[in-house]
Structure 1
Amino acid sequence: MAVAAVGVSWIHRLHDPGVLCPLRALTGLPCPLCGGTTVFIESGAGHPVRGALANPLALTGAAAVALAPLGLGGRWWALQPKTRARMLGAALVGSELWQLVRFGVLRV
């Protein structure tokens, strides 16, 4: 994952593709996953705090995927389906609120 982050950061420096999120490109409003690419670009460029602030959910998801083989994945799948759905729903709502504040749509 670290090698991929450095690679994405390097490619992004050479060619900035602009806004990748279809929802944001069409409406100007960020989705809950907006900033996911920025997490890896900033982390790969040596700015982990800026990366974490771009989208904590994407960073947490990447960490969960990386740690799943160590047994944490089993704990997730041991949860009831409704519990997993509620946790994912709460994470997505929280992430959307985070993005709306980050992009200045909501003020706190």
Structure 2
Amino acid sequence: MLRVAAMATAAIGAAWIHRVNDPGVLCPLRAFTGIPCPLCGGTTVFIELGSGRPVQAVLANPVAFAGALAFAVAPLGPGNRWWALQPGTRAWVLGTALLGSELWQLARLGLLRV
């Protein structure tokens, strides 16, 4: 529960900071090349959650949203199931998630027509 409280506090703080002073694009790859990385939108996930907009949080980066959710509930048992998987299976799942996230970001930012 402390983990979830800390994440919620961080999300509300990030939303407040963003509302007071928008820092612009935080991803170095996107800032220099215009091409998003698979984790682009991760900060936006927390900003949107902290602002009480969960749908926009999911749309910003579904993989980062799922990762944050998994991190929050890991101590309740799902974390044990993850570590019980074979290393190759974990690598495949993470690789597939990152590939899907990159395609999502390219489509979201209009760089990939779907």
Query: Which consecutive unaligned segments of at least 5 residues does structure 1 have?
Result: none
Runs of 4+ in 1 over 6 A off after TM superposition: none
Pairing partner for 1:69 from 69, 75, 82: 75
Q: Which amino acid aligns with 2:39?
A: L
Aligned partner of 1:105 in structure 2 is 111
Question: Are 1:37 and 2:15 counterparts?
Answer: no
Q: Map 1:4-83 to 2 at 5 A.
A: 4-83=10-89
Offset, 1:106: 0.5
Q: Deviations over 1:26-79 (max 9, x none)?
A: 100000000000011111112111111000011100011111100111100000
Q: Give aligned pairs, total.
A: 108
Counterpart of 1:20, as a letter, is: L
State the Cα RMSD in Å: 0.7
**SS across alignment from 2:40:** coil
Q: Partners in 1 of 2:85 and 2:49 — Cα distance? A: 31
- Secondary structure at 1:104 match in 2: coil
Partner of 1:90: 96
Identity of aligned residues (%): 72
2:3 aligns with: none
Separation (CA, whole Å) in 2 of partners of 1:35 and 1:63: 15
